[in-house]
Chain A
């Protein structure tokens, strides 16, 4: 069966520090991969999505970037975090009609 992993589960970082969040998927090949951010337990904001290795579409201009170095690995990065980057980051994958989410990473920027 398919499984999606995200780490770390929680992260507290100072303003201006770098960020790297990782997402890996098991049990499927060539999935579409997505990064979302959720602020204050409400709506989802799509940040990036990828339909294949090295292919990244950015939905929102900001100080974040994404990379897909392997088929089932999706990385969210920042060189310098802002206070406004705090939130709940969710990775998701989709193949055919179903889309599944990972457990999320809670990021607090102080």
Chain B
């Protein structure tokens, strides 16, 4: 079945850029998502990209999609301590009612 892989940990210094990477296996994915989870909270939808796009920018967030390599990345510019959280990558394998497939999450630690 469909699989989504992420590295488990990332540590960056405050003010640097963070890049969180994700790979997926289904070539027919329609949407790809990034979620943020802070301790004790639900998942917050940060951004998502349609599979016919290769880039999306929203303030400090930049999503890059390489559909040929099935690689998705999330870049956070000027990383702040408030960005410390777990970031989940997810994809929607087909359109319609198919559930999203989530990666296991990358824990981002921002060092002041």
A interface list, Cβ under 8 A from B: 32, 34, 41-44, 46, 49, 51, 59, 90, 92, 94, 97-104, 106
Q: Which residue of B lies closest to A48 (CB)?
A: B99
- Closest CB in chain A relative to B53 CB, distance in Å: 12
Given A32-B97, A42-B104, residue A98 in contact with residue B48 (CB < 8 A): yes
Judged by a CB distance under 8 angstroms, whether B41 is at the interface is yes
Q: Is the CB of A101 within 8 A of B42?
A: yes
Contact check, B42 vs A42: say whether CB atoms are below 8 A apart.
no
Residues of A near B24 (CB, < 8 A) are none
Is B88 on the interface with A (CB-CB < 8 A)? yes
What residues of chain B have their CB less than 8 Å away from a CB belonging to chain A? 30-31, 33, 35, 39-45, 48, 50, 86, 88, 90, 92, 97, 99-100, 102-105
Distance in angstroms from B33 CB to nearest chain A CB is: 7
Contact A103 B41, beta carbon cutoff 8 Å: yes
Q: Is the CB of A34 within 8 A of B99?
A: yes
Interface of chain A, helix or strand or loop or mixed? Answer: strand
Are A99 and B41 neighbours in the complex by a CB distance under 8 Å? no
Identify B45's interface contact among A42, A100, A104, CB under 8 A.
A100
Decide: A97 and B31 in contact? CB cutoff 8 A.
yes
Query: A100 vs B50: C-alpha distance in the bound complex, in angstroms?
Result: 17
Is A43 a contact partner of B99 (Cβ separation < 8 A)?
no
Q: Report A-chain residues with C-beta under 8 Å of the C-beta of B35.
A: 101
Judge whether B48 and A97 touch: CB under 8 Å: yes
B102 touches A98 (CB 8 A): no
A41 and B86 form a contact (CB under 8 A)? yes
Contact between B105 and A99, CB atoms less than 8 A apart = no
A88 shortest CB reach to chain B, Å: 8
